[in-house]
Structures are given as C-alpha cells and as structure tokens.
Amino acid sequence: MLTLLLPALFLLAQDPAVPPPAPAAATAPAAAPAPAAVAPAPQPDGQALSFYSQRFPFHWNQFMPLTVVVDGLKVNSIFFNKRTLTILKSTDFGTRAVVEVTNTASTKRVPGFAVAVFDSENRLVGVASGGPKLGGISPGDTETFDLSFHQVVQRIPRADHFILTVELTN
C-alpha cells in the first residue's frame, strides 16, 4: 500500500503542466503579443530601512576592524572565537561572532545581523544571526552583539571568508 501511496503523493506535489501555445494560423496576420501584467514586488514585513551585505576575509580569534555604515549605523568590528571561562578553560560554551556597532543617526536603529562563514572551496561552514533583544540602539550608543553558531561549527576556525549582512527595521 505504501509503495502505491508515495508515487501518487509525488505526482500530486508537482506543478501542473503548462500547455504549449496554440500554433498561429498560416493565413492570419501576425498580431503583437498582449502586454503581460506586472505584479508589484512584495514589500517585506517590518518596513526595512536599509540592507547591506558584503564579503570579507576571515580571521579566527583576531579583532577585525570594519568601516561599514548602514543608514547611520556604523559597524565598528567583528571578532570570531569560542566562548570560554578563565576558570573552566576546557569547557566549550559555543562558537560566536561578536559584532560591535555605533548608532551615528539621530534616531533609534533596530539592526538584524547575519553572518555566513565559508571555506576556501566556497562551502558553507557556519551561520549565525541575531540583533537586539528589546528595542534598538539609541543615537550615540555603542553596543556589541554575540551571534551564536549552532550545530555546524567544527570547520569555522579554518574558514577562508565570511559574508556579513545587516538589515535595519523601524
């Protein structure tokens, strides 16, 4: 029974076939194609202010200064390492990226961060994301954000490059 059900579900899950256009009559004059209706692009939820995404060389356990400014939010630096405690050196509390930002705008900024880390063969070896827990960053304030990598972390220290993405919302 199951061997019959799986192929049937597979066929039902596929997009319906689109029939080919009907051939034009040989004696009918060629008509200009009707203009296609263009649907407006969907707007993202939360009314995004600005978006930034850039590739950078990766350095493990080294402070990396950055000169990125996104709509008044200055990304000062990023740092990749493992969380540890001095008392419990052998205890691993996870792999992280620490992003430091300063709000140079005249209004509060609410950033979201994503970091994707790749090896020299351009294979994804880790992903982290985060942002403020409540509210945003007030004008003139500098804050740091710990972006945690989960599950896929073993190859991050040997990475080649990373992509930092910043998205601001109201």
What is the full per-residue pLDDT of the chain (170 aa) written as tens digits?
444 444 444 444 444 444 445 555 545 455 544 444 444 444 445 455 799 999 999 999 999 999 999 999 999 999 999 876 656 566 666 899 999 999 999 999 999 999 999 999 999 999 999 999 888 999 999 999 999 999 998 999 999 999 999 999 87
Name the residue range of residue 151's domain: 48-84+91-169
Phi, psi of 149 (to 5 degrees): -95, 135
CATH classification at residue 66: 2.60.210.10
Residue 22 lies in a domain: no
Residue 43 lies in a domain: no
18 in Cβ contact with 137 (< 8 Å): no
- Cα(72)–Cα(109) distance, rounded to whole angstroms? 8
Residue 29 lies in a domain: no
- Cα(137)–Cα(167) distance, rounded to whole angstroms? 13
Residue 80 lies in a domain: yes
Is the alpha carbon torsion for 24, 30, 31, 35 positive or negative?
positive
50 in Cβ contact with 141 (< 8 Å): no
Q: What is the pLDDT of residue 17?
A: 44
Total domains in the fold of the chain: 1
Residue 95 lies in a domain: yes
